[in-house]
Amino acid sequence: KRGGLRRVRGKVRGVWVRVRRRLRLHDGVRGRTRIARRERRHALFRHERKPTHHHCFPHRLGTQPVSKILVPFKSVPDPYEAAAPGSSGATAKSVINPFDEIAIEEALRIRERGEASEIVGLTIGSATVDEQVRAAMAMGVDRAIRIDDARALDPYAVARILRAAVEKEAPQVVLMGKQAVDDDSNQVGQMLAALLGWPQATFVSKIEFIENRTRARCTPEQDGGLELIEANLPAIITTDLLLNDP
C-alpha cells in the first residue's frame, strides 16, 4: 500500500510539474503578446502622447499664456503742461491718462515674459483722440479700438460701454488705470467688475499669475501697508503709480 501510495504521489507530482511548466509557458507567451500589443499602441500614438505627462491636460501644464489682455485708456489734458494764463484748460495738449499708460506698460511687460499673447487697447471718443490711439500703438499694443462717442460720459456710462466691448473681445484680464486725472472719479473699474460679475483687484502695485495662469496674485497698496489679493481669471485689475515707470 505504501509503495502504491508513493507511486500515485509521484505521478500526481509529475503531472503538477508539467501543468506548472505549461502555465509558465502560457503566461510567458501571453505576457510577450501583451507587451508587443502595448508597444504597437504606443508607437501608433507616440506623436500624441509623451511618457512624462500624457495624463495631464495642456492647461494644467502651465504652458498656455493668458491669451488676451484688454487695456482701456482715456485721453486727458496733459497734467504736466500748464495752459496759458487766462485761457481754458481745454487748450492744453491731450495725452493718454498717466494711470492708463502704466496699465499699458504693465501689459507689455507681461507679454514680454511670455504670459500673454495679445494686447488690445480700447478708448472712447471722437476722432480727436486718434493721436492717443497712435501713441498706444507706438507703445506696442497689438490692436487698438476707438469707440466713436463724443458725449461727456459719466463713469457708469463708460462702464456699460466697456462691458459690451469686453463681452465681444473676451479677454482674460482687463488692465486699466485706477482713475483718470481729469475727473479722479475712480469708479469705472469697480463698476465694470460689478456689471460683468468678475473679481477685481484695485490700486495694484504688483501683478503675478499663479496656478498655471488661471489666477492673478495682486498686491494693492493701502493706507496701512500692502495687501495680498488672489483672484480667478478673468478679472478686472486697476493699476497704481508704483506698479511701474513707463
Query: Torsion over CA of 173, 174, 176 and 178, rounded to 10 degrees?
Result: -90
Using alpha carbons only, how large is the chain's radius of gyration in Å? 33
pLDDT of residue 61: 40
| Mean per-residue pLDDT, 138-148 | 95
Range name among 13-17, 31-35, 53-57, 115-119 with the lowest pLDDT average: 53-57
10 against 63, higher pLDDT: 10
224 against 42, higher pLDDT: 224
pLDDT of residue 244: 86
pLDDT confidence band for 80 (50 / 70 / 90):
confident
| Mean per-residue pLDDT, 1-11 | 53
Is residue 238 over pLDDT 90?
A: yes
DSSP structure string for the chain: -HHHHHHHHHHHHHHHHHHHHHHHHHHHHHHHHHHHHHHHHHHHTTTT--TTTTTS-GGGTT-PPB--EEEE--EEE-TTSPPPTTS-GGGSPEEE-HHHHHHHHHHHHHHHTTSBS-EEEEEEE-GGGHHHHHHHHHHT-SEEEEEE--S---HHHHHHHHHHHHHHH--SEEEEES--TTT----HHHHHHHHHT--EEEEEEEEEEETTTTEEEEEEEETTEE--EEEESSEEEEE-GGG---
How do residues 19-30 score in pLDDT, each as one tens digit? 566 655 555 555
- pTM value is 0.70
pLDDT confidence band for 101 (50 / 70 / 90):
very high
Q: Which residues pair with 173 in a beta bridge?
A: 69, 235
Q: Are 176 and 188 in contact (CB under 8 A)?
A: yes
| Mean per-residue pLDDT, 194-218 | 92
Range name among 103-107, 158-162, 210-214 with the lowest pLDDT average: 210-214
